[in-house]
């Protein structure tokens, strides 16, 4: 099967042979030039090695394109013996021939030469990490190397030796793994030093590079690809962690420098901007910022995070401190203005029943009033109400004390409240410690006589109004009770008369009916007779008693009460008639329906 063209994760093209599982950066089907590799001695001379024929030559093979390999670097360090290669090159003369002619080689048998060459490889620690060009460069000046005459035979002995070494490794895989790991990491470190490998390099990139260079580390090893990848991943994770650590430390250092620059060295960049975008634009165009190479590692997000975590909180804290200082200053000034106005109010004759409009003409031109207007906190009206409410509370306590004394001493309330003078006279003869807190002497300044008396009168009026409202609510309930009684019993009273033709007289209330609706006809003078007819009815007695209670506080007309009762009576009478008619109609329909239902047939079995 032909070689297949494949793209790796980074888009590089390589070739894969499904039968042999081999990969190559060049297409072996199209060219055999790749069999030759270029190497350089320590003195800078280039030579070429054919991986297929094992040939070496000073001259560049026809069609060969120069490329750098991993072994090239290693060869330049390890092959000091190659320094003895002749500097005067002969055309197309293999290097082995030119060196062999200078070394005396003992004539021995082929078997002994093979044994000696294997011993040479073993004694020098040759393993799967050695390429054959390295072997050549290492032992080219050693007579044992030349005891094997045929270059292809030397390569075959080398391959067999590595296979035997690999079999030995199988017997102790742990030791082999550790040895391979050390060698493989050395290769990766070498690539890292040459900047051909870093924390972002893909595994396939490294693998294909080593395969392309025919590095023997993949050829003669007992480790699987997954195990080799594990070593690669572990080493890359380590350098990635080191990279991230170094980057993080560099960023942190750069952020510290930037914070110091913005806060201490050039704070104008911050103070001269109103938002993040403006600050960032101003910063990246700042010449000193651009000149600092340490800042190159910082991205926009890093600077934003610094601004959010460090710069903005400091700016906010500074603003809050300034605001707090300003607020403290204003608060002190506001408090001073309030204190001055309170002092002004304390000098005014404010009473519990006064309104702000009453004192405004007295204070509107005062500096204490003018200075307080428009300030934060309590207004002049608020402070006035505070003083007023304090007066109200004190007055309420004094009024409550007087009322409790009047009740406890059974003093005639009507007499006490008849006049201010009567109030004072009623209290003069009372001996009670509770009066010590009330100034009831009209001769003394700032006495409480008028304020307390007026409050007592207002409380009494309010009390009576509430009592009357409660009695009226009770009266409404009693009126409904009597109207309900009339619906059931009006025909037993001779004051009521059912007729459609009778004329209205002063003696009766005529009840007429038309199409099932009731109405009344009566002369207002008949209400006196109605009252006499009801005077022994308990429902009316309750009404009469309640009316008398209300009359203690205000006038009330009993005839108006009777008219309300009659109107409620006729409404209830009509409502009852409608409910009865509806009931009778539904009952009739139900009975009619039941009559049409035929009885079910019954089957009796004997």
Q: CA-CA-CA-CA torsion for 324, 328, 331, 333, nearest 10 degrees?
A: -130
- Give the dihedral sign, CA 14/17/21/26: negative
Residue 523 to residue 52: CA distance in whole angstroms: 146
At residue 141's C-alpha, the angle toward residues 138 and 142, to 5°, is 85
Domain boundaries, the chain: 32-171, 174-212+221-298, 337-461, 465-593
Nearest C-alpha neighbor of 155 from the set 112, 121, 129, 123:
121
Order of all β-strands in the sheet with 56-57: 36-40, 46-50, 56-57
The residue assigned the tokens 């004539």 is: 107
Residue 79 near residue 42 (C-beta atoms within 8 A): yes
Order of all β-strands in the sheet with 22-24: 4-7, 13-17, 22-24
pLDDT at 4: 76
Residue 534 near residue 482 (C-beta atoms within 8 A): yes
**Environment class of residue 192 by beta-carbon count within 10 Å: exposed (0-12), middle (13-18) or buried (19+)?**
middle
Give bridge partners of residue 455 from the DSSP assignment.
Answer: none
Average pLDDT over residues 341-366: 88
Structure tokens at 327: 């607020």
Structure tokens at 84: 């003895």
pLDDT at 544: 93
What is the residue-wise DSSP string for 16-44?
Answer: EETTTTEEESS-TTT-SGGGEEEEE-TTS
Query: Between residues 455 and 436, which one has the greater pLDDT?
Result: 455
- Give the dihedral sign, CA 282/284/286/289: positive
DSSP 3-state assignment of 517?
strand
The 10s digit of each residue's pLDDT in 442-501 is: 888 878 888 898 899 999 899 899 999 999 999 999 999 999 999 999 999 999 998 876
Average pLDDT of the residues of the chain: 79
Q: Is the pLDDT of residue 71 over 50?
A: no
The 10s digit of each residue's pLDDT in 170-208 is: 556 677 778 788 888 888 998 999 988 998 999 889 888
Q: Is the pLDDT of residue 569 over 90?
A: yes
Comparing 211-225, 436-450, 512-526, which segment has the lowest mean pLDDT?
211-225
Q: CA-CA-CA-CA torsion for 487, 490, 495, 496, nearest 10 degrees?
A: 70
Give bridge partners of residue 532 from the DSSP assignment.
Answer: none
**Environment class of residue 341 by beta-carbon count within 10 Å: exposed (0-12), middle (13-18) or buried (19+)?**
buried
Q: Are strands 46-50 and 517-521 parallel, antiparallel or unpaired?
A: unpaired
- How many other CB atoms are found less than 10 A from the CB of residue 493? 16
Average pLDDT over residues 434-442: 83
The 10s digit of each residue's pLDDT in 537-549 is: 999 999 999 999 9
Q: Is the pLDDT of residue 319 over 60?
A: yes
pLDDT at 112: 87
| CATH architecture, domain defined by 32-171 | Orthogonal Bundle (1.10)
What is the residue-wise DSSP string for 152-215?
Answer: HHHHHHHHHHHHHHHHHHHHTHHHHHHHHHHHHHHHHHHHHHTTS--TT--HHHHHHHHHHTT-
Instruction: Tell me 353's DSSP state.
Output: T
Distance of CA 120 to the CA centre of its chain: 73
């Amino acid at each position: 099967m032909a070689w297949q063209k494949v793209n790796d994760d980074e888009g590089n093209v390589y070739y894969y042979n499904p039968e042999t599982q081999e990969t190559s950066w060049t297409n072996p089907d199209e060219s055999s030039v790749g069999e030759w590799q270029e190497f350089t001695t320590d003195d800078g001379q280039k030579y070429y090695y054919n991986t297929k024929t094992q040939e070496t030559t000073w001259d560049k093979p026809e069609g060969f394109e120069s490329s750098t390999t991993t072994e090239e670097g290693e060869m330049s360090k390890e092959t000091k013996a190659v320094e003895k290669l002749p500097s005067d090159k002969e055309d197309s003369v293999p290097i082995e021939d030119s060196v062999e002619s200078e070394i005396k080689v003992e004539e021995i048998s082929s078997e002994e030469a093979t044994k000696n060459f294997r011993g040479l490889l073993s004694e020098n620690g040759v393993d799967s990490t050695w390429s054959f060009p390295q072997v050549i460069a290492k032992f080219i000046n050693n007579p044992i190397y030349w005891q094997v005459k045929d270059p292809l035979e030397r390569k075959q002995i080398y391959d067999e030796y590595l296979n035997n070494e690999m079999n030995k490794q199988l017997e102790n895989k742990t030791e082999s793994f550790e040895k391979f790991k050390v060698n493989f990491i050395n290769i990766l470190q070498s690539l890292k030093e040459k900047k051909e490998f870093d924390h972002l390099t893909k595994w396939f990139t490294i693998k294909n590079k080593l395969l392309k260079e025919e590095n023997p580390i993949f050829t003669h090893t007992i480790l699987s690809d997954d195990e080799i990848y594990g070593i690669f991943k572990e080493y890359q994770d380590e350098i990635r962690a080191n990279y991230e650590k170094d980057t993080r430390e560099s960023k942190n250092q750069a952020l510290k420098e930037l914070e110091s620059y913005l806060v201490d060295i050039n704070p104008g960049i911050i103070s001269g901007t109103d938002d993040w975008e403006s600050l960032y634009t101003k910063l990246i165009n700042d010449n000193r910022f651009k000149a600092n190479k340490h800042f190159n590692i910082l991205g926009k997000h890093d600077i934003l995070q610094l601004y959010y975590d460090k710069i903005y909180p400091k700016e906010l804290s500074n603003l809050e401190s300034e605001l707090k200082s300003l607020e403290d200053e204003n608060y002190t000034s506001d408090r001073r203005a309030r204190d001055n106005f309170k002092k002004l109010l304390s000098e005014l004759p404010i009473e519990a029943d006064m309104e702000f409009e009453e004192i405004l003409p007295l204070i509107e031109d005062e500096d204490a009033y003018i200075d307080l207007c428009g300030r934060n906190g309590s207004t002049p009206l608020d402070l006035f109400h505070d003083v007023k409410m304090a007066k109200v509370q004190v007055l309420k306590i004094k009024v409550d004390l007087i009322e409790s004394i009047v009740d406890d001493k059974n003093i005639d309330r009507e007499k006490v409240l008849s006049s201010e003078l009567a109030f004072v006279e009623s209290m003069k003869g009372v001996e009670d410690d509770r009066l010590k807190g009330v100034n009831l002497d009209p001769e003394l300044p700032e006495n409480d006589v008028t304020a307390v008396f007026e409050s007592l009168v207002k409380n009494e009026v309010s009390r009576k109004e509430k009592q009357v409202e409660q009695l009226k609510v009770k009266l409404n309930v009693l009126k409904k009770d009597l109207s309900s009684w009339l619906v059931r019993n009006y025909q037993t009273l001779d004051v009521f008369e059912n007729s459609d033709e009778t004329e209205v007289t002063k003696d009766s209330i005529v009840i007429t009916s038309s199409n099932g609706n009731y109405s009344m006809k009566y002369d207002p003078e008949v209400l006196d007779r109605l009252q006499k007819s009801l005077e022994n009815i308990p429902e009316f007695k309750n009404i009469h008693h309640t009316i008398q209670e209300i009359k203690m506080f205000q006038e009330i007309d009993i005839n108006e009460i009777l008219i309300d009762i009659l109107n409620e009576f006729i409404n209830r009478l009509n409502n009852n008639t409608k409910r009865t008619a509806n009931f009778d109609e539904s009952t009739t329909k139900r009975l009619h329906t039941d009559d049409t239902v035929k009885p079910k047939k019954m089957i009796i079995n004997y």
